[in-house]
Amino acid sequence: MKIHEIQAYLERYFDKVELVGSSDTTIDGPAKIEDATKGKVSFVANEKYIRFIGSTKASLLIVGEKTPTPQYSDRLNFLKVKDPYTAFVFVLQKFSAPRVIAAPGVCSSAVIGENVTLGENVSIGEHVVIGDHCIIGDNTVIGPNTVLMERVAVGRDCMLFPNIVCYDGTVLGDRVTIHSGTVVGADGFGFAPQPDGAYIKIPQMGIVEIHDDVEIGSNNTIDRATMGSTVIERGAKIDNLVQIAHNCRIGENTVIASQAGISGSVTIGKHCMIGGQAGFAGHLSIPDRTHVAAKTGVSKSTHKCGQTLRGIPAQPIRDQLRQEALLRSLDKMKQKLDALEREVREMRQGEEGKSQRSRGKKSV
């Protein structure tokens, strides 16, 4: 693409895209700013990467509106936008080639059950198993070795990578992406303890509902509800290796990083950000726009929207950082206390010595 073509493409998404340099230079692909060569496009969205502007060999950089550029314009071209990170994402989409997960049509090795409804332009890969009464929407792609059990409904334009299992009754909306190794709809962890120490399994009679535009990473486990539904709302993004237990509800456009664990019947609000390895106790709720830092242990519900939680147990980040600073100072505090104890001890010994001498004079 010529730079003027990239500029016109970005103007679909941004009110203003300012060009500094030549509009006719040819760009053949994206690259990291430190590794880019002639003909490549990169970006600067973080101040720590500004230092690479002077040394990069890229032909085009997408930068912020206030990023200084004139001193480099004789050898490097710029497109200045309000949000260079998002702009570069659009450029990546433009240059990326579509992934081939399964050939068009239904592979001869696939096993299709009875009363299955297939939409138009569906692709079903090798050794896929689709149970009875399933519904697959238009333009959906199902990768090799994926299993859909009975009465699974998959919407339009979905992408299911190889080796996924969707248990019976699972419902996927439109434009849902699920990566390899994920299991959707397995039984929730429900067992009733008995007086003799044994456990009776609680039937898991609900389903999992995944709404439109959700992306789920590899090796996730999303458990079906005991009754009702486990729900992942529209636009949520879930990283690899996340556990979501039965009867949870994950809010719209919430993002969850790798290795987070969410216990049963937890409700997480809209537009939340959950850090890696965060853990949630059961039957609690988190309001909209809450940020939960990595490794945080959330043990009770919170009600204030928009705050950041950190630590074990979770608390507002300023309180937790203050306590953490105090913990780092414990050694110095102990040294001061030890010195005070010695001083007090010496004062007491001195007073006792004076008292003994005084009693000795009186007795004489």
| Residue positions annotated with a catalytic role | 246
Nearest by Cα to 73 from 35, 28, 19, 26 = 19
State the sign of the Cα–Cα–Cα–Cα dihedral 233, 237, 241, 242: negative
* Contact by Cβ (8 Å): 76, 58: yes
The token duo for 136 is: 């697959």
How far apart, in whole angstroms, are the C-alpha atoms of residue 158 and residue 181? 16
Identity at 180, one-letter amino acid code: S
How far apart, in whole angstroms, are the C-alpha atoms of residue 16 and residue 66? 13
Q: Quick one: which H or E segment has residue 244? A: strand 243-244
From the number of C-beta atoms within 10 Å of its C-beta (0-12, 13-18, 19+), residue 84 rates as buried
Strand partners, 256: 238, 274
How far apart, in whole angstroms, are the C-alpha atoms of residue 22 and residue 26? 10
How far apart, in whole angstroms, are the C-alpha atoms of residue 204 and residue 194? 19
How far apart, in whole angstroms, are the C-alpha atoms of residue 236 and residue 270? 9
Identity at 144, one-letter amino acid code: P
Strand partners, 177: 159, 215
* Contact by Cβ (8 Å): 31, 58: yes
For Cα atoms 308, 210, 265, give the angle at the middle one, nearest 5 degrees. 55
Strand partners, 43: 62
The token duo for 72 is: 């480099």
Instruction: Please give the backbone phi and psi of residue 171, each rounded to the nearest 5 degrees, phi first.
Output: -125, 120
* Contact by Cβ (8 Å): 58, 102: no
- 128 CB neighbour count, 10 Å cutoff: 24
